[in-house]
Structure 1
Amino acid sequence: MTRHQRNATASSVYTYHERKKDQKASGYGSLKERLGKDAVTNFDCCSLTLQPCRNPVVTPDGYLFDKEAILEYLLHQKREVARQLKEYDRQKRKEERELEELAKAAKESEAKKFIAQESTPARVSVNNEINSTPGSSNSVSNMSDDKKNKLPSFWLPSLTGSLKTFDLEKPDFKICCPMSGNPLKFKDLLSVKFHLAKDADEKSSFDKDRYVCAVTKDVLTNATPLAVLKKSMSSNLENFISGII
């Protein structure tokens, strides 16, 4: 082992290499990594299926989806919201029944306590007074003293021992975009028309130079920002549209 390898980290200066190595090991700080080509989808691919769009639509935030895929997603989210709403209503009805049972049990206990007090004789025997003095009884019954108030009532579902249940929150009726998280409706989607190049095959989806700008006829790539006109629904270069407007 050479001297340089032996004293690689013995310097008094915290080098750039050591700092990046510590950041990667601890996960602290800003981490940058160059992504490969396989990690980036093409501009004409759906954000859900990651496949070329057959009927492309775009959201107000600029995310491209296939019409069939985003419609299926919206319907699934609506069914999920309806299911959560039914579960929430079922929990609320259960809580209301438990409150009614508690109120009914409280009234019954008050009535029994009142009847017991009214039916008790006014004179108490000497033996009962002696036995009722503190420290004279060594009862180990679980029904004595304060233990009788802590016992669960097996006839009340709210007082029986059970697993801890988590309170459900009221579901949100807004369906959000799977990419941006903003509220999304089907009527907000805008259809997109990609213009094919002259020599491009309409059935092939592997051509790099497949689509061109509707006006300038420049080839569209993953590195070119695009803009969609609302009325014509055509895809154009963003710098060209911004230059005209």
Structure 2
Amino acid sequence: MTRHGKNCTAGAVYTYHEKRKDTAASGYGTQSIRLGKDAIKDFDCCCLSLQPCQNPVVTPDGYLYEKQAILEYILHQKTEIAKKMKLYEKQKQAMKNDSKLESKSEEREKVEKFKTRENSIVSKPINPFTSGQNRGSDKGSSSSSAGAAAASSSSVASSSQSLPSFWIPSLTPEAKPALIKKPSKTVLCPMSGQPIKMNELITVRFNPIDPSLNRVALINRQDRYVCAVTKDVLGNSIPCAVLRPSGCVVTQECVEKLIRMDMMDPVSGDKLSDKDIIPLQRGGTGFAASGVDLKAKEARPVMQV
């Protein structure tokens, strides 16, 4: 292939490179690209701030957070839940008041129906000697007074009734009020979606590769921490685990070959159980077989025939 073979347009075959180039230039179709290692979070970075942790804590599911970031997140979620609960209680009280008004209106309708039925019953004897003209005049006067009363009542009703707004979508006659569901009071982890509590957070203690380095110099290094037992360098390509009693970070190989032999914390000397060994969730390594989905897709408009 020559130097300009990819840009050659004299071929009889519509190549994959030409198709991809035209798709990118047209603005239609779905584009996918594989992300590099720079788009992956390091194993010692917070899942919220994506920065190296200064006071790291880990959840029982193995997700690492900065202590200040996760506490602010939990407090923010609690305030949001309290606001939603107040709105739900307000809606519940409004529905209760509406039901009371409906029941009162039904009772009033029953009373009015009963009155009309009772008034239609003739209780006085009719005088057969009265003239029909007087009765006709009485009926005319009564009908005119009833018409005036109905006109006045209709004017009052029309003035008191407020017309709905046709410009606001929530106030149109066809729009129904959106019902608020009862919010859950449990705060969920932003990564795993499981319930999270402040007292379940475990303090993590990383062993720096050189204790004499300050924080800035430690962050600038690519290899920052080592295993608390074997002194192996930790990274995204090495599975790690956190020991609950001491909070130290060790490699998974150290757990399988040394710690599980006697199930004892090598730093604090406490007895361990399976729940006390928390596998630390890590990012990918940038390789295809790292187990992390590194593909990013962008859905754009599609031309229809």
1:100 matches 2:115: no
- Structure 1 residue 161, shift from structure 2 partner: 5.1
- Structure 1 residue 76, shift from structure 2 partner: 1.0
Question: Any gaps of 5 or more consecutive residues in structure 2?
Answer: 127-135, 137-149, 151-156, 166-170, 261-305
Please list, as runs of the form range in 1=range in 2, the aligned pairs for 1:32-111 lying within 5 A after superposition. 33-37=34-38, 39-111=39-111
1:175 matches 2:187: yes
Which residue among 231, 234, 239 is the counterpart of 1:225? 239
Partner of 1:228: helix, strand, or coil? Answer: strand
Partner of 2:250: helix, strand, or coil? Answer: strand
Partner of 1:85: helix, strand, or coil? Answer: helix
RMSD of aligned C-alpha atoms?
A: 3.5
C-alpha separation in 2, matches of 1:81 and 1:44: 30
- Structure 1 residue 209, shift from structure 2 partner: 2.0
TM-score by length of 2: 0.58
- The residue number in structure 1 matching 2:204 is 192
C-alpha separation in 2, matches of 1:121 and 1:27: 80
Q: CA 1:98 to 1:213, structure 2 compared with 1: closer, same or farther past 3 Å?
A: same
Please list, as runs of the form range in 1=range in 2, the aligned pairs for 1:92-241 lying within 5 A after superposition. 92-120=92-120, 163=171, 164-198=176-210, 201-204=213-216, 205-241=219-255
The answer (yes or no) to whether the contact 1:61–1:180 under 8 Å persists in 2 is: yes
Question: Any gaps of 5 or more consecutive residues in structure 1?
Answer: 128-142, 144-150
Partner of 2:52: helix, strand, or coil? Answer: coil
Partner of 2:57: helix, strand, or coil? Answer: strand
Percent identity between matched residues is 36
The answer (yes or no) to whether the contact 1:55–1:66 under 8 Å persists in 2 is: yes
The answer (yes or no) to whether the contact 1:201–1:210 under 8 Å persists in 2 is: no
Q: CA 1:186 to 1:103, structure 2 compared with 1: closer, same or farther past 3 Å?
A: same
- Structure 1 residue 210, shift from structure 2 partner: 1.8
Q: CA 1:17 to 1:237, structure 2 compared with 1: closer, same or farther past 3 Å?
A: farther
- Structure 1 residue 160, shift from structure 2 partner: 8.3
- Structure 1 residue 42, shift from structure 2 partner: 2.1
- Structure 1 residue 15, shift from structure 2 partner: 7.7
Question: Which structure would you say has the larger RCO, counting Cα contacts within 8 Å and 6 or more residues apart?
Answer: 2
